[in-house]
Structure 1
Amino acid sequence: MSRHVGVVGAGTMGVGVSQAFAEGGCRVTLVDTSADALAAARERIAVDSRMAALFDRNPAGKAGEITFTTGFEHLADTCFVVENVTENVEVKRVVHERLDEICPAECVFGVNTSAIPITQVAGYTGRPDRVIGTHFMNPAQLKPLVEVIRGFHTSPETVAATRSLLAAIGKESIVVHDSPGFVTNRVAMLTVNEAICLLDEGVATAADVDRLFVRCFGHRMGPLATADLIGLDTVLYSLDVLVEQFGDPKYRPSTLLRQYVTAGLLGRKSGRGFFTYDIEPVR
């Protein structure tokens, strides 16, 4: 496979998505406006690539090349771009307008968002039929399935091309219709938020809340550890979008969640959220 895939945003999701496509044999260009973020992404990918080799995650040895750059112009010959920037509609608008100027007319834009409607993002481009939701789960390089969201204008050809590309890199996909939060996060964010409310009310400790979900329901990870993995800032952004889009107070973020985000306790990426994590320097 020699397809050139662009990935915008070198945060946790962008790194995982880049690895997923590279391990599937694609040539990948990872773009971010921050040179520091790109340097950190390069180091994280190098470490994970060594782990992948150790555990034989890519036995065929078909990993493609990843280019790290701050220049959007390097996406001029891409066939597919996955956007992973922060959950902010204005930031996404600026990015998609820029992509629309640079990328070939046939290029498909995959929007990796937790809750923002795909149809809304598609409206920032001149190619709404070629904009589709590609909701990768964290860690993107390991999760076997991608939630694909069909926007109002997304064409059948775009859906088929997206699913074909995902299948080529070993990912299953399920196609759902556009709705804020889609299927996964409309359910997951309510669960996470309610778990935070229980913690805030002193009903149970964080460890006990999560242990109930792991031991009783067979979840691999409890809702509070899941929130830490996602990033508490992303959880808060997602709930705010759901409240705005639906006008339903059931999505109102917990006061404790807002306090943690304001305090900079964002979960794994900051070293502390509902649990504490050892952040080791990447070598």
Structure 2
Amino acid sequence: MTTAPAVVGVIGGGRMGAGIAQSFATAGSTVTVVESNAEAAAAALDRVATGLKRAAERGHLAEPAEQILARVSTTRSVDDLPSGADLVVEAVFEDAALKASLLAAAERAVGDTTVLASNTSSLSVTELAAALSKPSRFIGMHFFNPVPASELVEIVLAPETNRDTVSAALDWTRSLDKQDVVVKDSPGFASSRLGVALGLEAIRMVEEGVAEPEAIDDAMRLGYKHPMGPLRLTDLVGLDVRLAIAEHLHATLGERFAPPQLLRDKVARGELGRKTGKGFHTWK
């Protein structure tokens, strides 16, 4: 039987961080979310509360939403993370220097046995581990959006990640009723590398006038049984996020991951997908 970690820290309370916090709190963990200011912290709690309300409406909670939300608190400094935390997950945007800095600060704030994890979707966990004095307790835990409903966590191993850290990460993933795939550190891992390749090619098809976005999405959804098409998924992830990942893969894996100009243009215009109401589709 798997057991959720008793105490969890989450650095970053955006869509992904709030989803991670909600998932662990639902599983019974006490969760502290780190956000940079009072407004961002309030927004993070509101995201968790909204997610729990939706889960309750669908009958997915074993206890009242208010009781789960009471296990989630916020703080404005990584230094205030619980020293006895079992797990700290970094979930800020894809900036390697920022992630490394926050993980190093978290390592100083917590105990020697705390597992540190990054939710990065493409950055090298080996390079992030280099910022730590004890890289053996660091691992990639790549959650998927929306976290509470997603079935998968991609577990990414750096060369120095030890066996106990891997075992704990797998146990905690399963305590959330999620499945795991274990991969070695590589640009884009398994999921982002394949997902971005498909998404970029779909964008090139729009750029070349092959078909409209809806038609391309329908072709993959109906013909290949994908739950949603690659362009709708790009809107859901965020065009800015997909562009950042593509640029990283382009730099590390070569020209086949070069971002299409259409993607760059849409990001420049602020058409970032669902979060702005328009990407390759229009969102209400």
TM-score by length of 1: 0.94
What amino acid is the match of 2:275?
K
Q: How many aligned positions are there?
A: 277
Q: Partner of 2:61 in structure 1?
A: 58
Q: In the aligned structure 2, how far is the partner of 1:37 from the partner of 1:51?
A: 21
1:112 aligns with 2:151: no
| C-alpha distance in structure 2 between counterparts of 1:60 and 1:36, whole Å | 28
Contact 2:203–2:260 (Cα < 8 Å) also in 1: yes
Q: Residue 63 of structure 1 aligns to a residue in which SS?
A: helix
Higher deviation after alignment, 237-246 or 249-258: 237-246
Q: Distance in 1 between matches of 2:5 and 2:186?
A: 33
**Which residue of structure 1 lines up, in the alignment, with residue 9 of structure 2?**
6
Gaps of 5+ in 2: none
Partner of 2:36: 33
Tell me the residue number matched to 1:281.
none
Amino acid at match of 2:17: G
Give the conservation status (yes or no) of the 8 Å contact 2:90–2:118.
yes
Equivalence for 1:219: 226
Query: Using the alignment, how far apart are the partners of 1:253 and 1:37 within structure 2?
Result: 31
Alpha-carbon distance in structure 2 between the residues aligned to 1:58 and 1:127: 37
Aligned to 2:276: 270
* Aligned with residue 166 of structure 1, among 168, 173, 183: 173
- Once residues 274 and 77 of structure 2 are traced to their aligned partners in structure 1, the CA distance between those partners, rounded to angstroms, is 29
Aligned to 1:97: 104
Please report how far the alpha carbon of residue 10 of structure 1 lies from its aligned counterpart in structure 2 after TM superposition.
1.2
Contact 1:115–1:181 (CA under 8 A) maintained in structure 2: yes
**Aligned sequence identity (%):** 35
> What is the rounded CA distance, in whole Å, between the counterparts of 2:275 and 2:42 in structure 1?
16
Tell me how far apart the structure 2 counterparts of residues 200 and 49 of structure 1 sit (CA, whole Å): 39
Q: Pairwise mapping of residues 139-178 of structure 1 onto structure 2 (< 5 A)?
A: 139-178=146-185
Query: Which of 188-197 and 85-94 deviates more?
Result: 85-94
Which of 42, 47, 63 is the aligned partner of 2:45?
Answer: 42
Shift of 1:111: 0.9
Q: Give SS of 1:195's match.
A: helix
Which deviations, in whole Å up to 9, do the C-alpha atoms of 1:50-109 show, x marking residues without a partner? Answer: 221121111255836110221223312211011111111111122112112212111111
Does the Cα contact within 8 Å between 2:79 and 2:105 map onto a contact in 1? no
After superposing the two structures, state which structure 1 stretch, 235-244 or 58-67, moved more.
Answer: 58-67
Structure 1 residue 166, shift from structure 2 partner: 1.6
Corresponding residue number in structure 1 for 2:78: 72
Relative to 1, partners in 2 of residues 1:117 and 1:126: Cα closer, same or farther, differing over 3 Å? same
User: Taking structure 2 as the reference length, what is the TM-score of the superposition?
Assistant: 0.93
Q: State the Cα distance separating 1:2 from its structure 2 match.
A: 6.5
Output the CA distance in 2 between the equivalents of 1:141 and 1:34. 25
